Structure 1
Amino acid sequence: MKAEFIEALEEIEKEKGICKEIIFDALEAALISGYKKNFGSSQNVEVKIDKLSGEVRVYAKKNIVPTVEDELLEISLDDAKEIDANYNIDDIVNVEITPKNFGRIAAQTAKQVVMQKIKEAEREIVFDEFTNRENEIITGLVQRVSKNNVFVNLGKTEGILAPSEQIQGEVYNQGDRIKAYILEVKKTTKGPQILLSRTHPGLVKRLFELEVPEIQEGIVDIYSIAREAGSRTKIAVYSNDENVDPVGACVGFKGARVKAIVDELKGEKIDIINWSKDMGEFLSNSLSPAKVIKVDVDEKGKSALVVVPDYQLSLAIGKEGQNARLAAKLTGWKIDIKSESQIDN
């Protein structure tokens, strides 16, 4: 290794942000392993790199003893004093033992270490970038499907859409462009692992933020979302401006805004309802599209008895109880639904 190597390290430091000292430390450790592998591992050695010239020297660390029993680890006082007259018993002497062809080993090792450090630095950059994007939405291309896991090309890295995070019945083909929610970013030995989701309620929230300018501007806010991915979502919204209808803003002209979200979610039904401070009104709205006659609220128990017309009972409960279940998730309340005739009896 020559001065060109030092210049190359300075260039890497500028471009990749990898401190030269980190590379030198890693390189010296790797060269010790390289020396032991090629020239015997029983010696206690130290490698020093001249940080100006790039010259590499190998030293055997030997303990000064009265009687030498192991020449690889020990040196006599007389021999030590030939190196430096100030040495005494029990001191450690560095004896240069650089092999003639060690430069070639050093050059190969340096290349491996530098490549490894560049790879680690790039992984760290990717990790930092995606950690800051947790809970955000991202667009990627389906790269491959393996063991039901969908691998999505995100540009600098790939994300994993696990089976539990996939919308039931959705088919993912290579080259498909999909939007996904960044669920979690993990650090692993193989680099950052980006866990994606298509089922998380946060995906719906981010899609509305993308499609509805009034949400981006803070005029309309999302209060809560309840979702059964692939089937149905309820979203409660409210307006900070009395002149803006929050539901109308989310639906868009001729339903264009909500249609774009439904299309992205492959036909998932979306109910957009008005949030209200009045719990009775909010509970009534949450059971949309069913019409509610009366709501009896138990604030303490966070439960409510909701009365609907007889012909609306099955609509209020929904198929397999879905409408009632989502309304309870959306409001955070326990909801008991009864028909008029059930109450009268």
Structure 2
Amino acid sequence: MVKNTEMMEALENLEREKGIAVDVLLEALANALVTAYKRGPDAAEEALVEIDVETGEITVIAQELDEDGNVVREWDDTPDNFGRIAAQTAKQVIFQKIRDVERDMKYEEYAGREGDIVTGIIQQTDQRYTLLDLGRVEALLPQAEQVQNERYDHGGRLKAYIVEVRNTAKGPQIVVSRTHPGLVKRLFELEVPEIADGVVEIKAVAREPGHRTKISVASTDPHVDPVGACVGARGARVRQVVNELAGEKVDIVPYTDNPVEFVQSALAPARVREVRIHEDTGTAEVIVPDFQLSLAIGREGQNARLAARLTGWRVDIKSETQLQEEESGQVDYAEGEWVKDESGELVFQPAGGGEAISAEAAGYSAAEEAVVEEAVVEEAVEEAVEEAVEEAVEEEANEEQADA
């Protein structure tokens, strides 16, 4: 038998400080001591360790079993040097239990928080992921969850959306995203008190990360404008969200159960003449003036894609000329785009080089013309940025090839 009152005092202190129950520690210690005992040259094949909870007295009980596994004989087989072994084993068990408990506490802090936003400090970036320091734990931002052309500078603060929390032997592994549509939704919840209070609801989010997002919102209070609540005074609320998304454009669309009105709103800033709903095919056939076709479709079809995702309808956009040609059996489609002429005036240039139409001639108000002009300028800026990035990447590749 080996007495160890100091060990029991240490275990009791650990219970008070770390919240680890003494009986849990004693069980782990007893199991570890059995393993240590069996390493001895004359150890019995079967044994157990008993620890007195009052004195810390440790006894190794060797056992002899019959063919059926029943104990037929027991005796005290505590080695002479077992006090030293017990002390070393107890230290190892305590340290391991502390690590296990701290690991589990960290995991429990984030378990079930998928869908939440966290703010971290950017630590390092490589080809696989960016590492974020969340304080007590770290989060992984995989390459697949990163926004193209978004910079993650060391030491910068970054908000991210939790997509997965794993419990591993090394501790909790938190996987976050900057591309998930839920990030936009959570950012609005942080900025708009009416959403947090349940007065305004985000019905749907359609996103192309780094470029544009459309959200639909509704209000449970007829006196609260859901779009105005999300935009904020002088655009302050939506601007804060856009800043967090590194300049990504955000369109806020009023939700309605009327599919015609919903599709029309979702295609803004384009003006829609008519929407025909085909429930049998799940298609919304959208008719727009000829000079609105390119704006309604958007750059590389982006506006139409986002509207389709937001509304849940397959959006088929046609110009008035296209509709007339289809109905008359012709298949020659007219297209065009909004541009700025030599004088800087906003005009619609039909495909094929026809006469340009001014916004005023198209019946646009000054406010509507400003919306269209903003879209044209935005597209031009995006094209310029992408060209600059492509040139920089190509130049860097050429330099590396030259150095090689």
TM-score where L is the length of structure 1: 0.88
| Residue in structure 1 matched with residue 250 of structure 2 by the alignment | 270
2:207/2:214 contact within 8 Å kept: yes
Cα deviation, 1:159-183, whole Å, max 9, x if unaligned, reads 1111111111122222111101111
Alignment correspondent of 1:316: 296
1:108-123 aligned at under 5 Å gives the runs 108-123=88-103
1:211-263 deviations in Å (ceiling 9; x for gaps): 11111122211110001111111100112222222111111122111111111
Q: Which of 142, 145, 148 lines up with 2:125 in the alignment?
A: 145
The reply on whether 1:196 has 2:198 as its aligned counterpart is no
Q: Select which of 42, 57, 60 maps to 1:58.
A: 60
Residue 159 (structure 1) aligns with: 139
Q: Aligned partners of 1:143 and 1:40: how far apart in 2? A: 53
- The DSSP-based 3-state class of the residue aligned with 1:179 is strand
- Give the counterpart of 2:75 among 95, 114, 134: 95
Match of 1:105 among 64, 85, 90: 85
Q: 2 CA distance for matches of 1:167 and 1:333?
A: 27
- What is the Cα deviation at residue 130 of structure 1? 0.7
Instruction: Give the drift of 1:315.
Output: 1.2
Matches within 5 A, 1:240-279: 240-279=220-259
Unaligned runs of 5+ in 2: 326-404
Q: Partner of 1:21 in structure 2?
A: 23
Whether the 8 Å contact between 1:6 and 1:54 is mirrored in structure 2 is yes
Residue 186 of structure 1 is matched in structure 2 by 166
Alignment of 1:330 with 2:332, yes or no, is: no
**Cα RMSD (Å):** 1.9
Q: Given residue 181 of structure 2, which amino acid in structure 1 is its aligned partner?
A: P
Determine the structure 1 residue equivalent to 2:12: 10
Q: Which moved more, 1:299-308 or 1:156-165?
A: 299-308
Residue 263 of structure 2: aligned partner = 283
Larger CA deviation: 92-101 vs 334-343: 92-101
Residue 149 of structure 1 aligns with an amino acid whose one-letter code is: Y
Secondary structure, in 3 states, of the residue corresponding to 2:39? helix
| CA offset digits 1:268-324 (Å, max 9, x no partner) | 111111111111000111111111110001234321100111111111111111111
Query: Is the contact between residue 180 and residue 197 of structure 1 (CA under 8 Å) also seen in structure 2?
Result: yes
Change (3 A) 1:112 1:310: same
- Output one character per residue of 1:21-79: Cα deviation in whole Å (capped at 9) or x when no partner: 221121111112222335466632322211111122223222489xxxxxxxxxxxxxx
Q: List alignment gaps of at least 5 residues for structure 1.
A: 66-89
Contact 2:107-2:167 within 8 A present in 1 as well:
yes
Change (3 A) 1:230 1:42: farther
| Contact preservation (8 Å) 2:44, 2:63 | no
Give the conservation status (yes or no) of the 8 Å contact 2:63–2:71. no
TM-score (norm 2): 0.75
The one-letter code sitting in structure 2 at the alignment partner of 1:13 is E
Equivalent residue of 1:62, what SS?
Answer: strand
Could you tell me how far 1:10 is from its partner in structure 2? 2.5
Count of matched residue positions in the alignment of Structure 1 and Structure 2: 321
Distance 1:93 1:170 in 2: 72
Structure 1 counterpart of 2:50, from 35, 48, 51: 48
Q: 3-state SS of the aligned residue for 1:105?
A: helix
Amino acid aligned to 1:114: I
Identify the residue that residue 172 of structure 1 maps to in structure 2. Answer: 152
Contact 1:64 1:93 (8 Å CA) reproduced: no
Cα distance change, pair 20–147 in 1 and its aligned pair in 2 (3 A):
farther
Q: 1:27 to 1:39 in 2, by over 3 A?
A: farther
* Distance in 1 between residues matched to 2:302 and 2:287, nearest whole Å: 17
Distance 1:91 1:111 in 2: 31
- Distance change in 2, residues 1:41/1:304 (3 Å): farther
Matched with 2:393 is none
Q: Which gives a bigger RCO, structure 1 or 2 (Cα 8 Å, sep 6+)?
A: 1
Q: Is the 8 A contact 2:112 2:165 kept in 1?
A: no
